[in-house]
Amino acid sequence: MKCIWAVFLLASGARCADVTLWTTGDDIVSTFVRFAATEQATRMFAAIGVRLQWKTHRRVNPDDGTAIQVRFTTDMPGHPGALAFANPFDPVPVVTVMYNRLFFATERVPEVRVALLAHVLAHEIGHLIMRTDEHSPAGIMKAHWSGAECARMAHLPLTFLPEDADVIRRGLITRARGVERAAGARF
């Protein structure tokens, strides 16, 4: 199995990224927090062999891989208790982060804010790539993190469970094949 992923990673080396993300609502989040959180989320995905590229504008290059919008906003009706949400079944992939909720949740422990945002981003991006709203018993894709898990995030990031990492990588392969077929590539 490791050989298959090594071949996949080598074959995908010609592309800029496996997933390209562009952000909107950047003025809601401090530049430091946004930059540090996106960098940490990028490292979390890199640990499973997935390359993220962040932009502040919509992608235009079809070789940029799977494109996902990350929208920072203030509180929205619905989704009680959630810090963010994504609908993996929508045709246009969007992560919506209700940053005021995240800010309030970390008001007493601001040193956790960057790590919590990074984990929230990784979790929601994971849902979109895996095309599922299901959760795992542990790790990044867990439905609810405990207070202790949130406190540890700042020093020791959660990881994707091996089975979640496999589904993410398979999801990217499936999407890449769909894009190639749509562009008329021959196999």
pLDDT at 76 over 50: yes
Is residue 119 within 8 Å of 145, Cβ to Cβ?
Answer: yes
* Interval 142-169 mean pLDDT: 95
Measure the CA–CA gap between 28 and 129, rounded to whole angstroms: 25
Fold of 16-167: Collagenase (Catalytic Domain) (3.40.390)
Measure the CA–CA gap between 4 and 118, rounded to whole angstroms: 28
Q: What percent of the chain has pLDDT over 70?
A: 81
Comparing CA positions, the residue from 127, 44, 124 lying closest to residue 82 is: 124
The residue that leads in pLDDT, 11 or 119, is 119
Average pLDDT taken over every residue of the chain: 85
Comparing CA positions, the residue from 143, 167, 154 lying closest to residue 40 is: 154
The residue that leads in pLDDT, 182 or 175, is 175
* Interval 153-161 mean pLDDT: 96
pLDDT digits (tens, 9 = 90+) for 2-55: 444 444 444 444 456 799 999 999 999 999 999 999 999 999 999 999 999 998
* Interval 60-85 mean pLDDT: 82
pTM here is 0.85
* Interval 81-106 mean pLDDT: 94
Please tell me the total number of residues recorded for the chain in this structure.
187
pLDDT at 13: 44
Domain coordinates in residue numbering, the chain: 16-167
* Interval 76-86 mean pLDDT: 90
pLDDT at 64: 56
- Collect all residues with Cβ–Cβ distance below 8 Å to 45 and sequence separation of at least 6: 19, 51, 52, 122, 125, 168
Q: Which residues pair with 136 in a beta bridge?
A: 142
